[in-house]
Structure 1
Amino acid sequence: MDEEMDPEDNWSRSVRAGVLMQEAGFAKTDYDDAVDILQGMSLDGTPTIQQRILPGKRRKIGIWEASIRATRNAHEAWDRFQNPPKAGLKLGLAEYTAMFEKLTQREADENTRALPGDRALNFPTTQEANLTEFEKARIRPPSISQLYERMQLDGIRPTGSCLQILVANTESMEMARKYLHDSDGTGALYRLMSQEMDVQALKKVPISLISACIQVMIRQEGKLARKYMIRAIELAEQRLGTDRTPLSDFIWGTILKHLSQHHYGLRIAVHQQLKLSLHIIKKLDGPSGITLPQFIQFSKTLRKIAKRELGQLSTEMESGSLKIENHALWPLYDGKSRHRDAMHWDTFDDKSGALDLFRALRASTLQMNELFDKLLSHERDSRQLLGAKKLEPLEGMMWRKDPARSEHAYEYMLSLAYLGEFQQMAKLLKWLIQEWGQPGVVQALSDVDEPPPYADFVETLCAFRLIAEPMLEQGEVESLREAIGAAGLNWSWPDEEAVEAYAEMQEDESINILARVLERVRLSWADTRREAETGAGK
């Protein structure tokens, strides 16, 4: 079919508009040519890779820069970089910026449905099989350092987007400092990496560059990891203040995500790690509340930290230690523990660090549950504002800003499990039944041949049955099961075989370890009851 088509049949609307403009007697400018290149047609009429992501409207793009951007990957971009579309053109900052951007883009996933140009990714192309190693090396794009060296030889300083890309993608603090120093030659930006820059001077620095500096800081490892993490948080606080923008949310979210790594990597204690995470989430929780992705990231951070501590508790338990009840996690799982009131006074007098960790875990958990309630409240307010302008039931469920979709509910359910919030797990499941059990939603689900992925709660139910059910009263669990049937939902209550299969399919052993620890907790309850009965019999 393609053989029967004319080239103009594949023109984009933008290219067609340019052709119509010429036919009407208007001459094209260089900017018009650049737009055509980005939208699928080069100067000689041959096709380029149409770009869905365009540069900002505040600047005009040149044809050489456009030809570099309208490629599938860094190899093609490098070829365009070396061969200007017109004779006499001179390389400038814009062309180098476009090339640096191509060099730093991620490789597209092999299973992605996106096409070249849809997203800022590098897409593979078929390589010639009979090329010699010398030829392959000749056409291979340079490294960032090699290209930067060439840019310096051309007398071009890194500024604007170019500086941001270079700083954000370097692993070395030394190189980040070099980029900042080279950008103006005065050392003013260099002080971003130190404690010397005052707040007023900092306000003159673009937030995008602040974001780049923070990204390289939080990636640092070794002895200086703690120093740079603290500096990144201070830098964000000084520059962002109380501002709430998409970029500020991105910056705080990036810091929060990196805080979930092992505390050894950050060179801080676990309770300090939790306090920093709590500090950041409170920064994000402004008058308009946090976003759903931020809430999920915070819950994941707490879960990762609890997972690592759970491994230590399990090791102590298997070694036959008599002090496992003094571990900070134990009173989270054992509501009858003597440490249940440790938020008010020290009951961990025989184990250093446990009190601080327990209090940090409890404070973070309470904050997470409070944020959950806020998300629900904001969603209710939003739906009230919609009034009569209601969406279709399933569409409305898909666009909700609370954890009603299965992927978000599952993440929250798992985090609650590792933090010992069994009653909250039951509360979450009850709320999900209420929301998905609305008559309109139930009817919409029954009308479709296959429920959408965000309505599949099998894993959520399995996690609840595996972890929460044994820790709750049987009557409470049974009431939830009956509520599913009463609501008319087609959710299947997982049987024992399904729960076992779910546990076996997990990427690590942590959830099985958690189940064994909780079994030990229940055994301690049984031992306590027997001792009480024996004492009463005497």
Structure 2
Amino acid sequence: MLVSRIIRHRDAVRLGPELGLGLNHISHFHAGYSKTLRHSAAAEPKKSSGTTVGWRRHRRFPKYLRDSPSGTFALRLRSRTTPLTFRAWQRFDEAARSRSLRLPIVTLQMMIRKDEAQMKTSLSQSLCDDGQWRTRLNSLAFKGISEGDIQHWVWIMEGKDADERIERFVSVDRPKPIFLLFQLLRHDQRFQKGSSLQSIYDYVYRHHVRSKASPPDAALPFGAVRRTLDPGLNMTRWNFATLFRLLVYHYLRVWPSALPALAKLVCLYVEITQQVAKNGRKAYSDACSIFNYALVMFQRKSPVQPVFQMRYNWRAQKIMLAMSTTLPRPLLINRSGFRAIRRVMLALGKSPAERRVALRMMRTWPPYRRDWDGLDEKREPADDFSRSVKAGVLMHEAGYSEMEHDRALSVLGGVLPGEAPTVQTRSLSPRTWTGRQANLNVFSTWAARVKATRDINEAWHEFQTSPTEGLQPSVQVYTEMFKKLVAIPVNQLPDPAHALLPGDAREVFPVNDATLTTFEKQRLRPPTVEGLYSQMLHNGTRPVGDCLSVLIQHAPSMQAAMRYLHDSPLDKAAISALQLPHVPSADSSTISRHRRRDAAAGPTLEVLQQIPLGNLGAYIFLMCRFQPRLAAEPARLGKMRRAGLIHHAINICAQRLRPTLDDGQTYKAPWHTIMQTLAQPKLLVSAENTQDRRFHDREALGLALRVFGLVKMGGGVDVVVLDGLCKATQKCLRWTDMGLTTDGGGDLQPLLRMAHATIVSAFSEMAGGSPASQHHPATRHNFTAGSLQSYMQTLGYMGDVDGMVQAVGWILRMWEDETVLEDAKDVLNGQYSTIGRVLVMFRAFAETQVTGSVLEQLERQMGALQERKYCTWRWPTQEDADAFVRWHRQEHNAAFWSRVRPGV
């Protein structure tokens, strides 16, 4: 009866216009129908099961939670190391009261019950009793989940750090719930081992990608049990997208060179999904969605050397594009995918074709192309487009209109179609404004025009050319102009014989003003940094963000940097904490005294957290830049006071970048600056003995070891930190009897032994530590030929020939890995000649200290690589080693070379 009334109501609404019934008739009909429906519902008898008919809904509490169960689970894990808030305790109490059978809730309650068994809290009253708990576990047992499985999941999450939790997670080769996988890959998890990411990669490949291609397990029953235990059913498209985003996040921070491995994983997932899909149209739509999502994820930059690491982003995108072409129906690229490709291409070095175009640019502005020969005359304007601009043309041909942000990408790409050309500039993507602030993208285009220039006059011309009449430049435009004014000038014009071309780096080229009069030169000359800064303040723009960092980093004095900071909207108490405290010179003589003084009266973490990390890194760079150097005459009072700058920088970083904080585990730029400063020769690090170079070299090595330990406790060491420690050690070796194990260095020997053990251990950990894989590189660290040269030279002067043999063997093995030492394998790159000097250095140090069989084995290994792998490296001859000794022989190492290679 009730159903028939509903049908009549639906037909009346549908046929009302056809029958001539107006809206009033239909509304009266609807009112009468609603009244009848209420009476009918009231007259319907209720079922004996207790359920009601009609529109009544079940109560959401206590089965459902107000907050996300996974979020509460993550909050419980973070509360073990952070202070507990009342709101967090409320969420734990709600989770403990819940009777839901969702796996995050049950696992969290198991963890709470385990904690309550050790120490009772008020949460014990919220948990269910043992009988109810057993009943709920029996319900989960129907789905194939036992109490032992839940206890195993709790044991996994109780690991002391992220690496140990991953090790426990993969210790048993059995599918785990997806929520547990997401918990292990949260953004606040910090991995220090590449093997952890590789293990989780293999797990995802086996259980969530490859398993989709295999037939369903016949041993699994149908229904809820199969969905719970079959990982192929659990990994939906949205779950895979979330998992992929988390993996990209961690790979960019730990192992950027392994991004192509993630691309291969996505390609396999897309191919298998289309093969096993029953609905072809939906499978194609899902494949396009994952494909474009992967392209967008691969545009993200690494926090360390983002421009250099972008080559791996491009390789990952190329793998995705190549996969699309092999499918029966190529996947479609949307607007976001095209933009992601363009942004990655902007950060790549110029291709040979792009270099030819850059060499043919006129010295006038705009830089139109010159025709050198008949082939140039036959070229069309589109032939000179960079790869990024060509991708923009393809986006336009695909039907996507050009927006303001696309114009900024085209300007940096070298050509804005329909307008005058610019200079192709290697750069990260300009800032993109969205939502209500989308109109600010016009400033991104303006800033890109200032950046895509060759000299300061061209930059000043673009700075003064407003896109709209009356529009004042923003802080984003001022930042690019400041960068041009402080850039290092290049004393040569673009030449094919030189590797540096306009747009390759931040350096500016000479101004083309040979034909201009003196008056015209003065008229076109841009203002100084101070003049432009005064103009910016006069227009009501204050220095913030990247603009403030540029000004601080290139400030002419510490007082000028403090003025920039006070003009910014930063907290004044935090700015005062950055100032070097005034202490008597007698209290700044040794490392221990500096440590005691700064520990007693140093800036607190709460105050330093008011300073953005970029501004903090710029101020650390400024302090290291003004660190004094040793001189022949005694140091004056101002120079003695500035000797404490490096100590103040270390203590600020030790407070702000603590190993227990996320910033301390991810942001290493200030530590890199400090280590590179400590490695510089003739560094004055104390107010005592200002003419004793040996004393200051020893103090610098002690500080370097301290910084090395702090960095290792945080996010782990890297190549820059290891290279700085090697060079700081070499400074002290000049005061010892090199190559001997006796105590010829006096008080330096304990420090040198500690440095030697630290260096060898760090290199062994960085060079190895990851199992062999067909997709991942042999190491996650970006070793360079220069860093290997410093490491080998340090071991050679310390007499560790065995360590040198192991290092050379590792270098030769890395020829087969295309990612490791990539630039050192390029004949046109400067690192190629450096790696040759490393091999010559090894023979000069080790030829008389190792057996001939060892050298013969390494030489045979080199010959095998030349035959099988087309290795272009060359094994050095004895004449090369003798020439190396004659070139590097000095007064402080003459006795060492006389022992190592007598007669040279």
Give the structure-1-normalised TM-score.
Answer: 0.73
Q: Give the deviation of 1:35 after TM superposition.
A: 4.0
SS at structure 2 position matched to 1:200: helix
Residue 413 of structure 1 corresponds to 792
Q: Give the deviation of 1:295 after TM superposition.
A: 1.8
Question: Is the aligned partner of 1:150 residue 2:535?
Answer: yes
Distance 1:177 1:438 in 2: 48
Q: 1:2 to 1:89 in 2, by over 3 A?
A: farther
Amino acid at match of 1:231: H
Question: Is the aligned partner of 1:101 residue 2:483?
Answer: yes
Question: Is the aligned partner of 1:92 residue 2:92?
Answer: no
Asked if the contact 1:259/1:301 (under 8 Å) is kept, the reply is yes
Asked if the contact 1:15/1:41 (under 8 Å) is kept, the reply is no
Distance 2:380 2:498 in 1: 29
Distance 1:115 1:451 in 2: 15
Q: In the TM superposition, what are the counterparts of 1:441-456 in structure 2 within 5 Å?
A: 454=832
| Aligned mate of 1:134, from 506, 515, 519 | 519
Q: Give the deviation of 1:75 after TM superposition.
A: 1.8
Question: Is the aligned partner of 1:228 residue 2:645?
Answer: yes
Question: Is the aligned partner of 1:251 residue 2:670?
Answer: yes
What value does the CA root-mean-square deviation take over the aligned residues? 3.8
Asked if the contact 2:552/2:619 (under 8 Å) is kept, the reply is yes
Q: In the TM superposition, what are the counterparts of 1:353-432 in structure 2 within 5 Å?
A: 355-378=746-769, 381=770, 383-384=771-772, 386=773, 388-389=774-775, 401=781, 407-418=786-797, 420=798, 422=799, 424-432=800-808
Amino acid at match of 1:300: K
Distance 2:811 2:795 in 1: 20
User: Which range moves more in the overlay, 155-164 or 59-68?
Assistant: 59-68
Residue 300 of structure 1 corresponds to 727
Amino acid at match of 1:219: R
Q: Give the deviation of 1:81 after TM superposition.
A: 1.4
Q: Give the deviation of 1:205 after TM superposition.
A: 2.0
Residue 77 of structure 1 corresponds to 459
Q: 1:477 to 1:458 in 2, by over 3 A?
A: farther
Distance 1:449 1:93 in 2: 40
Residue 55 of structure 1 corresponds to 430
Q: 1:162 to 1:433 in 2, by over 3 A?
A: closer
Q: 1:153 to 1:249 in 2, by over 3 A?
A: same
Q: 1:245 to 1:112 in 2, by over 3 A?
A: farther
Q: 1:57 to 1:485 in 2, by over 3 A?
A: same
Amino acid at match of 2:550: I
Distance 1:101 1:439 in 2: 39
| Aligned mate of 1:207, from 613, 616, 628 | 613
* Deviation string, structure 1 residues 422-458 (Cα, Å, up to 9, x no partner): 2x223322452476379979xxxxxx99899659865
Q: Give the deviation of 1:468 after TM superposition.
A: 4.5
Q: Give the deviation of 1:116 after TM superposition.
A: 2.8
Residue 113 of structure 1 corresponds to 499
Extract unaligned runs of 5+ from structure 2: 1-374, 435-439, 582-601, 629-638, 688-695, 818-824, 867-873
* Deviation string, structure 1 residues 371-419 (Cα, Å, up to 9, x no partner): 12222332xx2x43x2x4477xxxx7xx77486x76544322211233x
Asked if the contact 2:624/2:645 (under 8 Å) is kept, the reply is yes
Distance 2:395 2:900 in 1: 73
Q: Give the deviation of 1:494 after TM superposition.
A: 2.8
Asked if the contact 2:574/2:607 (under 8 Å) is kept, the reply is no
Residue 324 of structure 1 corresponds to none
Distance 1:439 1:68 in 2: 42
Higher relative contact order (CA 8 A, sep 6+): 1
SS at structure 2 position matched to 1:184: coil
Q: In the TM superposition, what are the counterparts of 1:333-344 in structure 2 within 5 Å?
A: 333-335=739-741, 337=742, 339=743
Q: 1:151 to 1:133 in 2, by over 3 A?
A: same
Q: Give the deviation of 1:167 after TM superposition.
A: 0.4
Q: Give the deviation of 1:18 after TM superposition.
A: 7.4
Residue 45 of structure 1 corresponds to 419
Question: Is the aligned partner of 1:176 residue 2:582?
Answer: no
Asked if the contact 1:70/1:117 (under 8 Å) is kept, the reply is yes
Asked if the contact 2:487/2:508 (under 8 Å) is kept, the reply is yes
* Deviation string, structure 1 residues 505-530 (Cα, Å, up to 9, x no partner): 44xx43x741424647999xxxxxxx
Q: 1:522 to 1:32 in 2, by over 3 A?
A: closer
Distance 2:382 2:839 in 1: 54
SS at structure 1 position matched to 2:761: helix
Amino acid at match of 1:261: Q
| Aligned mate of 1:459, from 829, 837, 845 | 837
Distance 1:128 1:402 in 2: 42
Residue 390 of structure 2 corresponds to 13
* Deviation string, structure 1 residues 189-236 (Cα, Å, up to 9, x no partner): 421423674311322321111101101111123223322111111111
Q: Give the deviation of 1:115 after TM superposition.
A: 3.8
SS at structure 2 position matched to 1:258: helix
Distance 1:81 1:147 in 2: 11
Q: 1:451 to 1:4 in 2, by over 3 A?
A: closer
Q: Give the deviation of 1:255 after TM superposition.
A: 0.4
* Deviation string, structure 1 residues 133-172 (Cα, Å, up to 9, x no partner): 2322222222211211222222321111111110011141
User: Which range moves more in the overlay, 113-122 or 449-458?
Assistant: 449-458
SS at structure 1 position matched to 2:572: coil
Q: 1:153 to 1:284 in 2, by over 3 A?
A: same
Asked if the contact 2:732/2:748 (under 8 Å) is kept, the reply is no
Q: 1:291 to 1:138 in 2, by over 3 A?
A: same
Asked if the contact 2:665/2:714 (under 8 Å) is kept, the reply is no
Question: Is the aligned partner of 1:239 residue 2:656?
Answer: yes
Q: 1:2 to 1:501 in 2, by over 3 A?
A: same
SS at structure 2 position matched to 1:285: helix
Distance 2:453 2:835 in 1: 41
* Deviation string, structure 1 residues 248-270 (Cα, Å, up to 9, x no partner): 22221110010123455333633
Asked if the contact 2:862/2:875 (under 8 Å) is kept, the reply is no
Residue 494 of structure 1 corresponds to 877
Asked if the contact 1:43/1:85 (under 8 Å) is kept, the reply is no
Distance 2:469 2:610 in 1: 39
SS at structure 2 position matched to 1:91: coil
Residue 343 of structure 1 corresponds to none
Residue 516 of structure 1 corresponds to 895
Asked if the contact 2:678/2:700 (under 8 Å) is kept, the reply is yes
Amino acid at match of 1:410: Q
Q: Give the deviation of 1:3 after TM superposition.
A: 4.0
Q: Give the deviation of 1:273 after TM superposition.
A: 1.2
Distance 2:675 2:682 in 1: 13
Question: Is the aligned partner of 1:66 residue 2:485?
Answer: no
Amino acid at match of 2:517: T
SS at structure 1 position matched to 2:617: helix
Give the structure-2-normalised TM-score.
Answer: 0.45
Distance 1:435 1:99 in 2: 43
Find the structure with the greater CA-based Rg.
2
Asked if the contact 1:410/1:460 (under 8 Å) is kept, the reply is yes
SS at structure 2 position matched to 1:113: coil
Extract unaligned runs of 5+ from structure 1: 310-328, 341-353, 442-447, 524-538
Question: Is the aligned partner of 1:483 residue 2:857?
Answer: yes
Question: Is the aligned partner of 1:267 residue 2:686?
Answer: yes
Q: 1:46 to 1:465 in 2, by over 3 A?
A: closer
Distance 1:260 1:459 in 2: 21
Q: 1:165 to 1:135 in 2, by over 3 A?
A: same
